[in-house]
């Protein structure tokens, strides 16, 4: 059983969270999330791309990608969207990632190098760069 902390007595820290900079990373795996944190089955699963960032020892999970659509850059989540044949939808973010890496399926992207980029000036979390 978890013990509760007295958050009313906690002071202000002096350490900032370590922020990862955009960099070339190596894809080391893919995880598909099918349930929410609460254990509810998701309507559409979400792909998490596991990467090895040069500034972090443990693997980093990225589930968003920056792509070019209609002449502008968009950040989209890697939702698993299948067509009637059970294949990734032609216009999905996962298909954009596969095409960018010149791969036919998610297993093929393991071992590939790809750049990361900040999602935007306002949202500085990293995402995969596929344009």
Contact yes or no for 60/68 (Cβ under 8 A): no
In this predicted structure, the answer to whether residue 2 has a pLDDT above a threshold of 90 is no
Contact yes or no for 86/79 (Cβ under 8 A): no
Is 61 exposed, middle or buried (CB count within 10 Å of its CB: 0-12, 13-18, 19+)? middle
Going from the C-alpha of 63 to that of each of 4, 5, 8, 17, 46, the distances in angstroms are 32, 32, 35, 20, 7
- pLDDT tens digits, 39-51: 999 999 999 999 9
- pLDDT tier, 4 (very low <50, low <70, confident <90, very high otherwise): low
In this predicted structure, the answer to whether residue 19 has a pLDDT above a threshold of 90 is no
In this predicted structure, the answer to whether residue 5 has a pLDDT above a threshold of 50 is yes
Prediction pTM value:
0.84
- pLDDT tens digits, 101-127: 999 999 999 999 999 999 999 999 999
Spell out the domain ranges in the chain.
Answer: 21-129
- Percent of the chain at pLDDT > 70 equals 97
Overall average pLDDT of the 1-19 stretch: 75
Written as six digits, the tokens of 27 are 């894809």
């Amino acid at each position: 059983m978890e013990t509760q902390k007295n958050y009313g007595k906690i002071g202000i820290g002096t350490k900032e969270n370590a922020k990862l900079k955009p960099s070339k990373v190596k894809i080391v795996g893919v995880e598909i999330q099918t349930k929410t944190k609460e254990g509810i089955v998701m309507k559409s699963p979400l792909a998490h791309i596991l990467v090895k960032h040069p500034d972090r020892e443990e693997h980093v999970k990225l589930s968003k990608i920056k792509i070019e659509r209609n002449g502008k850059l968009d950040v989209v989540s890697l939702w698993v969207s299948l067509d009637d044949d059970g294949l990734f939808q032609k216009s999905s973010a996962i298909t954009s990632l596969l095409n960018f890496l010149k791969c036919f399926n998610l297993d093929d992207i393991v071992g590939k190098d790809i750049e990361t980029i900040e999602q935007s000036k306002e949202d500085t979390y990293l995402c995969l760069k596929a344009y």
